[in-house]
Amino acid sequence: HDDHDGDHDDHGDHDDHDEPTPQELLSEFDVNNDGNLSWQEAWFAFDFEGENVCYNLYTYETNNDSEDVCGAYGYYEDYPMGGESFTGCYNMVTHQVSGDNQSVCTSYYFVGEHEEYGVAFVLPDGSTMMMEMDGGMQENMTGWNLTDEAAHSMEFDIDYTVSEYGKMVTSIAGHEAPEWDANSSNNWYWALYLWNETGEAWEESNHGIDSVILGEDFSNVAGAGTSEAEFIAWAPSTVSTDTFPTPEHDDHDDDH
C-alpha cells in the first residue's frame, strides 16, 4: 500500500496555479538572461511562446532550425579556420557560415512547447480534485507516477492491491470501493479514464495504470500493451464522465 499521511476535511476543487510573481515572469521570458525584459522579449512571449520556433530577438524573425542548431550560432573574431583567420557568424552544429552580423548572430533563441499534463480525482460525494502541471515531465512517466505524485502533493492516501495485471486502486482519500455483492445495487470500482484531446472527451482506459504512458500522442487501443494520454482521471465506475473536470490548455494564436 502507498501511504500518504495527511488529514483532509475538505475535498473540494484544488487550484495549484497561483498567479506568477513579476520575478517569475522575468525569469521565464528573459531569454538572454540580462535581468531585464525588453520589448522584443515581451512581444516574443505573447506571440510565439510555446510553439517550437527559433526566434531572433534582433530581427524579430523565426526560422525552422531545431533546438540544437538554434543554440549553436556564435560570432567569432579572428578565429583560425581552414588555415585562415575567420571573422563572422558560424554554426557549430551545421558547420555553416552565416552572413549575419554580430548583433543578429548572437540573438537566436529557441523555445519549445510546454508539456501539459495532469490528473483529476472525482470522489463519490461529487467533489473533485485536480492537479495540472506545465513542464518538467519525466521521461517515460506513467499514469501511476503522476497519481502517486498528486497524492503526495495534495496529501491524501491511495490504497491499492497488486495482481498480475498491475496495481488496482481500491481507495482514494478515504473513499473505499465496496466489495462486490451480487445482491447489492451499490457495486462500483475505481475506474481509470484518459482525456482524448481530439474528441474532447474522457474515455475509460483499456490498460491498467502502470501501462498508461504520459504523452501527447493519444492512444487507447485494447490489446496494444500500453495507452498514452496527457491527462488522466480516477472516478467511481458509476459516475458519468459529464461530471468530470476538463483539462485547461494554453491557447496560442497560430496566425502570426
Question: What's residue 114's pLDDT?
Answer: 58
pLDDT band at 129 (very low <50, low <70, confident <90, very high): very high
Q: In what order do the strands lie in the sheet with 73-81?
A: 73-81, 84-91, 96-98
| Sign of the Cα pseudo-torsion (220, 196, 146, 205, in order) | negative
pLDDT tens digits, 144-193:
999 999 999 899 999 999 988 889 999 999 999 999 888 888 899 999 99
Percent of the chain residues past pLDDT 70, beyond the cut:
73
Q: For the chain, which residues make up each domain, given as ranges?
A: 22-111, 116-179+187-243
Report DSSP state, residue 34.
Answer: S
C-alpha count within 13 angstroms, C-beta hemisphere, residue 121: 24
Question: What's residue 109's pLDDT?
Answer: 82
Amino acid identity of residue 21, one-letter, is T
Neighbours of 58 (CB within 10 A): 15
pLDDT tens digits, 27-54:
555 555 566 656 555 555 545 555 678 8
> Quick one: average pLDDT of 16-33?
52
Q: What are phi and psi of 124, to 5 degrees?
A: -60, -25
SS3 178: coil
Question: What's residue 213's pLDDT?
Answer: 94
pLDDT band at 13 (very low <50, low <70, confident <90, very high): very low
DSSP E strands: which ranges in 70-127? 73-81, 84-91, 96-98, 108-111, 116-122
- 190 vs 23 pLDDT, higher one: 190
Q: How far apart are CA 173 and CA 69, in angstroms?
A: 48
Question: What's residue 75's pLDDT?
Answer: 95
Q: How far apart are CA 23 and CA 141, in angstroms?
A: 30
Nine-digit cell at 13?
476543487
Pick the range with the lowest mean pLDDT from 25-29, 30-34, 113-117, 199-203.
25-29
Looking only at the bridges linking them, the beta strands covering 227-229 and 212-214 are: parallel
Question: What's residue 3's pLDDT?
Answer: 47
| Predicted TM-score of the model (pTM) | 0.57
Burial call 17-34: b when 16+ CB within 10 Å, e when fewer: eeeeeeeeeeeebebeee
Could you tell me how many residues make up the chain? Answer: 256
- Assigned CATH topology for domain 116-179+187-243: Ferric Hydroxamate Uptake Protein; Chain A, domain 1 (2.170.130)
Helices vs. strands in the chain: H and E counts, helices first:
5, 16
- 65 vs 15 pLDDT, higher one: 65
- Taking a C-beta distance cutoff of 8 angstroms, is the pair 211, 220 a contact? no
